[in-house]
Amino acid sequence: MVTVIKSEVEINSLITSFKGLLVVDAFAIWCNPCKVLAPKLEIMQQAYPTVKIVKVDVEELANFAEDYNIRAMPTLLFFKNGVEVDRVTGANEPDIIKAIQKHM
């Protein structure tokens, strides 16, 4: 299940501590492409159980959005061992899957 992260401390801790591939979906409640992507991320989470997919509302966690230069929603950030290794801007399912497979 894809979890919505509600605090800066929680997301920063997860980024630095998670071993393996962490995918962070930077989304906004009002964003229609984000709404379309949400169920697809749930399917991806089931298909790739070793990958952790989480969501961050950029309006609730504005500092996160600023720190990672989020300019469009959705933006998916891919982290390994605390380092951003890739990003996909937009609800482009094939590009997201390609990035997951590349960095697993």
- Distances in whole angstroms, Cα of residue 69 to Cα of each of 1, 2, 4, 5, 55: 26, 22, 19, 18, 16
Given the residues 28, 31, 54, 99, select the one marked as catalytic.
Answer: 31
Pairing type for strands 21-27 and 75-80 reads antiparallel
- 3-5 β-sheet, strand order: 3-5, 52-57, 21-27, 75-80, 83-89
| Catalytic annotation present for 31 | yes
Sole residue written with tokens 């379309």: 36
| Catalytic annotation present for 34 | yes
Given the residues 34, 73, 77, 91, select the one marked as catalytic.
Answer: 34
Active-site residues, by number, are 31, 34
